[in-house]
Structure 1
Amino acid sequence: MRAGIIGTGLIGRGWAIAFARAGWDVSLWDREPGAAVSALSSVKTALGDMAAVGLVANPDAAASRVRAADRLAEALQDTDYVQESVPEDADIKRGVFGLLDRHAPDGVPIGSSSSSIVGSRFLSEIPGRDRCIVAHPANPPHLMPVVEVAPSPWHADAFVVEVCGVLASIGQVPVVVRKEIEGFVMNRLQTAVVNEAVGLVARGVIDPADLDAVMKHSLGLRWALMGPFETMDLNAPDGFLDYAARYGHLYQAMGRDLHVGEAWQDHALQTIEDSRRRETPRAAVGERMRWRDRALMRLMSLKNELESPAGGN
């Protein structure tokens, strides 16, 4: 099996790792000269880090399956699946999908890593739009495996099932977004948290470092293992409806007081920036990113253990 990855930024590289880890051959292409070749070393490094925690059995073999293509047509040759990961711009994506639809083998699904733009905005005029679909990953895709498969009104159910099957076969966790909505689900949930976090700092409720501490030492711990509905289900003696009856009025009252729709205040953004630079100097951001990825790998390994039949018991 062969995947064509178009665009080799952080998302594209993550997709390459996910497919190579699963035994696929991978062709990389980027419109920026030299970008695809440069991505190869990042892919190899990440596969080696994953092998150190048991997430990849043979990192050298996986890395050898990833190659850079000089031309788009070369990257698409003999592919069984194509994933676009170009900048988040509807016009750019529309142009790229016109080329992908023209050059990819007939019948091959083409996914888009669009993080907020619904497919109807850039796929509706593509001749082969029936095989082009939003498949929005988390970032980075190889460490946060959920993929939001977001069909447009013209997509057949069988095609959605086919795409989900491909993604599940490489170890991703596909979920179907059943109605087109800007930002899909993952980023809308994230938006609610981030906007309220900025608002709390803007109103002087909490310092940025303490807000991060609240998330990583409370909600983040639970949410690494279960979603909000299962959390509610397990936090009341008689389950979800019991929780809703006990606390629903409090959530709704606080919900009316949230500031998630307000503009970000410049003074709050600068306060957060200053706090972050004290914690992580700008020159150390890249090193901290790799620390984050290694930590996610260890967490993935633990989650795999916990979610296995033996671990679940």
Structure 2
Amino acid sequence: MMKVAVVGAGLIGQAWAIVFARGGCEVGLWDGDPQASARALRLIAELAELLQDKGLLDDAAGAMARIRRETALEQALADAAYVQENLPERLEVKQEIFARMDALAAPGTVLASSSSSIAASRFTDELAGRARCLVAHPVNPPYLVPVVELCGAPWTSPQALDDAQRLMAGIGQKPVRVRREIEGFILNRLQGALLREAFRLVEGGYVDAEDLDATVKDGLGLRWSFMGPFETIDLNAPAGIRDYCRRYGGLFESIAREQTDTGPWSEALIDTLEAQRRRLLPADGLEARRLWRDARLMELALHKRRTARDA
């Protein structure tokens, strides 16, 4: 049974501990704050029970038995084949922890960061073991949303990336290989493109926040929950993707000419969206709605698991 070290016991670290333990790995959980790691174990246990109640975890007690709280980083890294780092998104923090891990971990151990914006090349360039370092960027929470983006630095070895991909696939995640470093990786860039156009459409008075959200959740999002954009358009023209491009390429080229603004979102626009969203959901209802969201994600994850054989 493979041992994995989870470094950092915040929300992402807790989620990763569940993912690895659910997948059958032994997990060494460490945080620089002993109280944080102790608190994390309690929260992980509660989460494991919830996932078991929802049918997304077969044996909560067995999963928890595979998670061990370590009091020293050296203990967490001992015998670990893979490390998932989850410390704050600050360059100096990444540089410091990766220097420590590179000095302590066995030579064959893969060192991965959950960074969502900092490329691996920025915090591994001076390390002796930089070839085994990469980013493994999850979607939050990874125990419900399985995609994880794997992106190495220019010097990351193919073996390290292959090992990370094999592990992620083996524990039920959906690894995506990012072939070259790019700011925001893939998911955030796609999300950012949609958000920028959504903001622009509201700012231009074409639609309000509620109807924009309806367009995605009751339109595009229904297909996107089980197909990506390329498969979507491949199926939306009689002869496939080339036929689609011939039919609609001119339309999207014309639209793209209007999508050239790169300025920041204005305060006035943010005020408008804040007012529209708070009319739909008062601020004191945000936490309850987040719990509702997570419950829906659990139902969707279970449905997709049941139907995966038909994909």
TM-score interval, normalised by the smaller of the two chains: over 0.9
Specify the code of the residue in structure 2 equivalent to 1:11.
I
Aligned counterparts, 1:209-220, within 5 A: 209-220=210-221
Pairwise CA distance, 1:225: 0.5
Pairwise CA distance, 1:223: 0.7
In the alignment, structure 1 segments of 5+ residues that lack a partner are none
Q: Distance in 2 between matches of 1:260 and 1:20?
A: 45
Specify the code of the residue in structure 1 equivalent to 2:90.
D
Q: Residues 107 and 129 of structure 2 are in contact (CA less than 8 Å); yes or no, is this contact kept in structure 1?
A: no
For 1:226, the equivalent position in structure 2 comes to: 227
Query: Cα 1:31–1:198, aligned 2, differ >3 Å: closer, same or farther?
Result: farther
Aligned counterparts, 1:48-197, within 5 A: 48-197=49-198
Q: Residues 199 and 259 of structure 1 are in contact (CA less than 8 Å); yes or no, is this contact kept in structure 2?
A: no
Q: Distance in 2 between matches of 1:288 and 1:65?
A: 32
Q: Residues 50 and 294 of structure 1 are in contact (CA less than 8 Å); yes or no, is this contact kept in structure 2?
A: no
Pairwise CA distance, 1:259: 5.4
For 1:248, the equivalent position in structure 2 comes to: 249
For 2:28, the equivalent position in structure 1 comes to: 27
Q: Distance in 2 between matches of 1:57 and 1:238?
A: 44
For 1:301, the equivalent position in structure 2 comes to: 302
Could you say what the CA RMSD is over the residues aligned between the two structures, in angstroms? 1.7
Q: Secondary structure at the match of 2:212?
A: helix
Percent same amino acid at aligned positions?
44
Q: Distance in 2 between matches of 1:283 and 1:125?
A: 47
Query: Cα 1:275–1:6, aligned 2, differ >3 Å: closer, same or farther?
Result: farther
Pairwise CA distance, 1:196: 1.6
- What is the aligned residue count? 310
1:77-123: per-residue Cα shift (whole Å, max 9, x none)? Answer: 22221101111122211111011112223311111111122111111
Q: Residues 202 and 265 of structure 1 are in contact (CA less than 8 Å); yes or no, is this contact kept in structure 2?
A: no
Q: Residues 107 and 131 of structure 1 are in contact (CA less than 8 Å); yes or no, is this contact kept in structure 2?
A: yes
Structure 1 window deviating more from structure 2 (129-138 vs 282-291): it is: 282-291
For 1:14, the equivalent position in structure 2 comes to: 15
Specify the code of the residue in structure 2 equivalent to 1:135.
A
Query: Cα 1:6–1:277, aligned 2, differ >3 Å: closer, same or farther?
Result: farther
Q: Distance in 2 between matches of 1:223 and 1:272?
A: 25
1:139-191: per-residue Cα shift (whole Å, max 9, x none)? Answer: 11111111111121112223221111111111111111111111111111111
Q: Secondary structure at the match of 2:172?
A: coil
The alignment status of 1:202 with 2:190, answered yes or no, reads no
Q: Distance in 2 between matches of 1:180 and 1:22?
A: 28
Q: Distance in 1 between matches of 2:284 and 2:178?
A: 38
Q: Distance in 1 between matches of 2:297 and 2:4?
A: 24
Pairwise CA distance, 1:213: 1.5
Specify the code of the residue in structure 2 equivalent to 1:49.
L
Pairwise CA distance, 1:214: 1.4
Pairwise CA distance, 1:240: 0.8
Q: Residues 6 and 17 of structure 2 are in contact (CA less than 8 Å); yes or no, is this contact kept in structure 1?
A: yes
Specify the code of the residue in structure 2 equivalent to 1:228.
P
Q: Distance in 1 between matches of 2:268 and 2:261?
A: 17
Structure 1 window deviating more from structure 2 (253-262 vs 177-186): it is: 253-262
Q: Secondary structure at the match of 1:217?
A: helix
Pairwise CA distance, 1:284: 3.5
Q: Residues 195 and 259 of structure 1 are in contact (CA less than 8 Å); yes or no, is this contact kept in structure 2?
A: no
For 2:274, the equivalent position in structure 1 comes to: 273
Q: Distance in 1 between matches of 2:210 and 2:260?
A: 20
TM-score, scaled to structure 2: 0.94
Query: Cα 1:179–1:200, aligned 2, differ >3 Å: closer, same or farther?
Result: same
Pairwise CA distance, 1:280: 3.4
1:34-54: per-residue Cα shift (whole Å, max 9, x none)? Answer: 222222233223222222332
Q: Residues 133 and 153 of structure 2 are in contact (CA less than 8 Å); yes or no, is this contact kept in structure 1?
A: no
Query: Cα 1:100–1:287, aligned 2, differ >3 Å: closer, same or farther?
Result: farther
Q: Secondary structure at the match of 2:9?
A: coil
Pairwise CA distance, 1:199: 2.1
